[in-house]
A and B are shown apart, each in its own frame.
Chain A
Amino acid sequence: MKRSGFIEELHECQEKEEKNYLSKKNIMEAAQHHQVPPARAYGVATFYTMFSVQPRGKHIIRICRNLSCHLAGAEEIVKKLRETLGIDFGQTTEDGEFTLEESSCLGMCSLSPAMMIDDVPYGNLTPAKIPEILEQIRRRENRNE
């Protein structure tokens, strides 16, 4: 019963899913594929913070609140994000664009405070930069459409 790659498969499922999450179907199929009992598969999917079993927005904002970012004023950034997006941690904006999540240290401490949106890191944040960054992403998307 080789389990290599089960988590990798969950990653791939989630990346393919428009709403950035693992649906029941995704998990069950991956579980069957890897011969993992459903209860265990669900246990795995809920263990890791990068996975979500709830639908999320198109973009995941992961903000670090750990020591170095904390010292550099992460709380201010968090406040600004909440304000600008009108949502709290674990929530998704009404337009389905952004989900706000807290993350453990992103390894960007020399650029703290820092956050990641999807795969893209953003460092040396200030509250003022936040609306601009979000707007940029929205704009880029509109252009692509």
Chain B
Amino acid sequence: MSEERQLRIVLRNAGLIDPDSIDEYIAHDGYSALERVISEMSPDDVIEEIKKSELRGRGGAGFPTGKKWEFTAKADSDQKYIICNADEGEPGTFKDRGIMEGDPHSVLEGMMIAGYATGTNKGYIYIRGEYALSIKRLQKAIDDAREYGFLGEHILGSGFAFDVEIRRGAGSYICGEETALMESIEGKRGEPRKKPPYPPTCGLWGKPTVINNVETLANIAPIVINGADWFKGIGVEGSRGTKVFNLMGDINWKGVVEIPFGTPLSDIVMNMGKGIRGGRKLKAVVLGGVSGSLITSEELDTPVDFNSLARIEAGPGSGSIVVLDETRCIVDIARDIAYFFRHESCGKCTPCRVGTEEMYRIIDRISKGEGEERDINTLESLGKSMMLTSFCGLGQTAPNVILQSLRKFRDEWLTHIREKKCPVNV
């Protein structure tokens, strides 16, 4: 792995310290950011600092974190909440797991600072139920932090009180969507709510709620310690700091990388990933998860940051990079993706509930050589309609990769239909 191209902020401690040891975390500057905000900064100062850092959410949508906190800080309510979104369910993504298992205290510290800044004393970490080890590590971290006085009443002798509880998911991708997640914490089916109102003013149990991704929160302490200016010096305009990516698929090296925003995708795939497996040619990259985008080899030099990627209708998304080599069949990939969404649609709204099912059915038909040419049009019109009218992000993004593949690999689709066979023989 090309270590030199990486910059470890979020993963500063991962692999270096014993994640079960709060002492080691403290020895590596842990909780010094918390001490600093409590003793030196007003809540407004903290929010100003985060705003100034231009940190954007790492959960996918990239919303400015400082702004989010500000909404909740300003909301007038007897009770507010901080939620850490650790439901990481996007296929091909495991960066949050890495952070939680490698450095659980960094997430807690971020939550505490968020609590301090917004005037909140209660936090929840919503972790997917399948992440048994993450749950264990975080619970240990919470218990230790409580014992050390970082959680509870009068934190570090101040008037600030904050506590955190874990809530386990129970097998549902949609619960990563922030409002569905809140429904789930409230003990309901994980069905998204209508927005507005947005969580910062009306979230969990109707109360103002900040919800942040694990990686977002892990960025907080370093920003407090090193200052917003330091953070702004990393990355590029519109995308500051680093981003953690998971590399996998048909490459020689699979794993986790943390790179400054603006690093070209080709650099990540070809250098950090050590090139395509077996010396084959690259066909495409599924970037940002199966709800993300499909990048062709022509587009591979695009710098990885919000603005540059937006120009090719893509985004960093969940931070997953799945590399496909020339032997992969695009219809087969599309079918697998469609299968996933059909399984994970919550079923609330028609475009997604029936749309994901029909999308899978049509693609399945094509993959079996039973497709017709008009199926392509149907898929396109269905996909467009799902993107425009689905109730939440799941249905709106489910067709992304599939529609892009129809545009970018149309011939391959047509071959399946016309010649009733797969050009790469899958």
A/B: CB atoms within 8 Å of each other: yes
Check: B170 CB closer than 8 A to any chain A CB.
yes
Complex Cα gap A44–B170 (Å) = 10
**Partner among B132, B320, B343 whose Cβ is within 8 Å of the Cβ of A104:** B343
Segment touching B, from A64-72, A92-100, A135-143: A64-72
Q: Choose one: B167, B187, B255; the contact of A36 (CB below 8 Å).
A: B187
Query: Looking at the complex, which one of B94, B128, B167, B171 makes contact with A109 (CB distance below 8 Å)?
Result: B94
Contacting residue for A71 out of B94, B131, B328, CB 8 A: B328
Q: Are A47 and B344 in contact (CB under 8 A)?
A: no
| CB nearest neighbor in A for B323 | A71
Inter-subunit contact A49/B336 (CB<8 Å): no
Residue from B132, B171, B320, B340 within 8 A of A49 (CB atoms): B171
Interface centre among B93, B94, B250 (most CB of A within 10 A): B94
Determine the chain A residues whose CB is within 8 A of the CB of B286 once the complex forms: 67
B94 contacts A108, C-beta separation under 8 Å: yes
| A contacts with B, residue count (CB < 8 A) | 40
- Chain A positions 57 through 89: 1 when the CB is less than 8 Å from some CB of chain B, otherwise 0: 000001001111011000000000000000000
B189 close to chain A: CB less than 8 A: yes
- B322-A71 in contact (CB<8A): yes
The answer to whether A67 and B337 touch across the interface, beta carbons within 8 angstroms, is yes
Shortest CB distance B126–A (Å): 10
Closest to A30 in B: B187
Contact of A107 among B93, B250, B328 (CB under 8 A): B93
Contact A68 B188 (CB under 8 A): no
Chain B residues closer than 8 Å to A34, beta-carbon distance? 187
Contact B333 A109 (CB under 8 A): no
Take A67-B333, A104-B340 as given contacts and tell me if A47 and B190 are in contact as well, using a CB distance cutoff of 8 Å: yes
Report how far A62 CA is from B269 CA in the complex, Å: 30
Q: A71-B250, A116-B130 are in contact. Are A47 and B187 (CB under 8 A)?
A: no
Partner of B188, one of A40, A49, A112, A116: A40
Q: Which residue of B lies closest to A46 (CB)?
A: B189
Task: Look across to chain A and name the residue whose beta carbon is closest to the beta carbon of B246.
Answer: A109
Within 8 Å of chain B (Cβ to Cβ): is A132? no
Given A110-B248, A116-B130: A105 in contact with B92 (beta carbons within 8 A): yes
Residues 176-212 of B contacting A (Cβ, < 8 Å) = 184-190, 205
Q: Is the CB of A3 within 8 A of B186?
A: yes
How many interface residues does chain B have, given as a range? 35 or more
Contacting residues, chain A, for B261 (C-beta < 8 A): none
A71 to chain B, nearest CB (A): 6
Q: Say whether B94 contacts A67, CB under 8 Å.
A: no
Closest CB-CB distance, B334 to chain A, in whole Å? 10
Name the contact of B336 in the complex, choosing from A3, A47, A67, A106 (C-beta under 8 A): A67
B89 within 8 A of A: yes
Question: Is A144's beta carbon under 8 Å from chain B?
Answer: no
Q: 1/0 contact trace for B322-337 toward A, CB 8 Å? A: 1010001000010011
Minimum CB–CB distance from B155 to chain A (whole Å) comes to 23
What sequence of 0s and 1s flags, for each residue 18-51 of chain A, a beta carbon within 8 Å of any chain B beta carbon?
0000000000000000101000100110011111
CB distance from A48 to the nearest CB of B (A): 4
A11–B322 contact, CB under 8 A?
A: no
Contact for B249 among A4, A71, A102, CB less than 8 A = A71
B426 to chain A, nearest CB (A): 10
A5 close to B248 (CB less than 8 A): no
**Given that A11-B168, A49-B171, A71-B324 are known contacts, is A66 also in contact with B336, CB under 8 Å in the complex?**
yes
Q: Which residues of B contact A51 (CB under 8 A)?
A: 170-171
> Which listed residue (A5, A65, A68) contacts B92, Cβ 8 A?
A68
CA distance A48 to B185 in the complex (A): 13
**Residues of the B chain whose Cβ atoms lie less than 8 Å from the Cβ of A67:** 91-92, 286, 290, 322, 333, 336-337, 340
A130 at the interface (CB under 8 A from B): no
Is A145 close to B, CB under 8 A?
no
Q: Would you call A10 an interface residue if the criterion is a C-beta within 8 Å of the partner chain's C-beta atoms?
A: yes
Check A49 against B92 for contact (C-beta < 8 Å): no
List residues 79-112 of chain B with CB under 8 A from any CB of chain A.
88-94, 96-97
Would you call A103 an interface residue if the criterion is a C-beta within 8 Å of the partner chain's C-beta atoms? yes
Contact, CB under 8 Å: B336 / A110 = no
Residues of A within 8 A of B129 (CB): 11, 48, 50
Looking at the assembled complex, report how far the CB atom of A32 sits from the nearest CB atom of chain B, in whole angstroms.
13
Chain B CB within 8 A of A6 CB: yes
Q: A44-B189, A68-B322, A71-B322 are in contact. Are A8 and B89 (CB under 8 A)?
A: no
Q: Within the assembled complex, what's the spacing in Å between the Cα atoms of A108 and B249? A: 12
**B131: nearest chain-A partner, CB-CB:** A107
Known: A47-B172, A67-B290. A107 touches B130 (CB 8 A): yes
Query: Interface on B for A, CB 8 Å cutoff?
Result: 88-94, 96-97, 128-133, 167-173, 184-190, 205, 246-250, 254-256, 286, 290, 320, 322, 324, 328, 333, 336-337, 339-340, 343-344, 346
A-B contacts, 20 listed (Cβ < 8 Å): A3-B186, A7-B168, A7-B169, A11-B129, A11-B168, A47-B346, A48-B171, A51-B171, A66-B336, A68-B248, A71-B328, A104-B91, A104-B171, A104-B340, A107-B93, A107-B94, A109-B322, A110-B247, A110-B254, A119-B132
Q: Which 4 A-B pairs have the closest CB atoms?
A: A6-B187, A3-B187, A49-B171, A48-B170
Known contacts A107-B97, A110-B94; 5 additional CB pairs below 8 A are A3-B186, A7-B170, A50-B129, A50-B171, A67-B290
